[in-house]
Amino acid sequence: MPPTTRSQKKQPAAKNILHKLNKKNHKQVIKAVAKVAHKKVWSKGKNPHVISSTFSFAQENGKWVYKGRPQWYPKIVEDIKVQKGEHRRHIIPSHLLLSSFSNYINAHSATIESKADAFIAKYKVPIKGSGLDNKLKAVATYIHNNKNNLFPERGDENTAIGFLPKEIGNLLKNADALLKVEYDNATKANSSQNVSNAKIQQISKEVVSYIENELQGLKKKGFGFVLPVKADILEKAIKSIQAMPDKNYARVTAFLTDEILPSLELDLSKTPGLAAQNQKAIEIYQQLDKLSNGEGGDIDFFAVIDEFLSLPQN
């Protein structure tokens, strides 16, 4: 019986995986996030109005997919002004809003147009053109522009918030691949084709050590310089893993997936008076995260978004 991996998806083959996996990505992690953010956001002038002019929904192989990111409404640009070096930051991340909506669309293809029509009518959503593609684009753009989910703050922090969860996500994928490689090697070395429990535990501990080392590497990449709150979460994650006596792989990866990644992705307010907003944002995040991962079950995306649009104001 192979050790349980975080994901049952087929993992790519790997050679010398401890040294090679994700090496390219790690080299590209920020050395000076402030400079990166500054160049990306302000290269085309102060206070840009548009994130992307290519945002669209289209069908590919029978599935609806989106490309790009929505534009800001002029009203949002006017109401939430940003200074040089700042971003309009989402409390609940924009990519989660889009991915959860996309999964919901494909899971409810028979009724999605009527649901989109009802949403557009209810909120008087601006729309250009006809067709379901334009309706989906209009709904996603309206959600992206939820004023209660936005605030102006440092752009370098915002960039770091995007980098760190992606790096940990890549780390988890690589750890799954490493676990499979090590187990396959142990199986080939054993003529009986049965790997002992002791060997499985050894493999689990080795892969957990790999995870610890990679997290320590991320901590040294500069996140503490620009984002002390997120760096503190990362430090606590490392200490929690080190304190686990059994070094169980499934337990460690579940801890990172279920507890640490949501903490890193949510851009919660640090103002004590906004505890109600933060609590509601966490509840909404958890439901959207399930939809995004295909685990939404009976969760109604539009019912969740009704709550999302009514977040306590920041």
Task: Quick: pLDDT tens for 208-253.
Answer: 999 988 888 877 765 544 455 566 667 778 888 888 888 889 888 8
| Structure token digits, residue 142 | 């309206």
Q: Each residue of 288-314: b (16+ CB within 10 Å) or e?
A: bbbbbeeebeeeebbebbeebeebeeb
Alpha-carbon distance 128 to 142, whole Å? Answer: 13
> Which pLDDT does position 253 carry in this prediction?
87
| Helix (H) / strand (E) containing 130 | none
Q: Each residue of 92-120: b (16+ CB within 10 Å) or e?
A: bbbebbbbbbbbbbeeeeeebeebbeebb
> Which pLDDT does position 274 carry in this prediction?
56
Instruction: Count helices and strands (H / E) in the chain.
Output: 15, 4
Angle at 37 between CA 97 and CA 163, to 5 degrees: 50
> Which pLDDT does position 226 carry in this prediction?
46
The answer to whether 21 and 175 are in contact (CB under 8 A) is no
> Which pLDDT does position 119 carry in this prediction?
97
> Which pLDDT does position 149 carry in this prediction?
84
> Which pLDDT does position 128 carry in this prediction?
92
Task: Quick: pLDDT tens for 273-297.
Answer: 555 666 788 888 888 988 988 888 8
The answer to whether 242 and 215 are in contact (CB under 8 A) is no
Alpha-carbon distance 148 to 207, whole Å? Answer: 42
Residue type, 308: F
Alpha-carbon distance 27 to 108, whole Å? Answer: 41
| Helix (H) / strand (E) containing 279 | helix 275-292
| Structure token digits, residue 282 | 């966490």
> Which pLDDT does position 86 carry in this prediction?
66
The answer to whether 266 and 281 are in contact (CB under 8 A) is yes
Which residues of the chain, if any, have pLDDT below 70? 1-53, 85-87, 152-163, 191-193, 221-233, 259, 262-278, 313-314
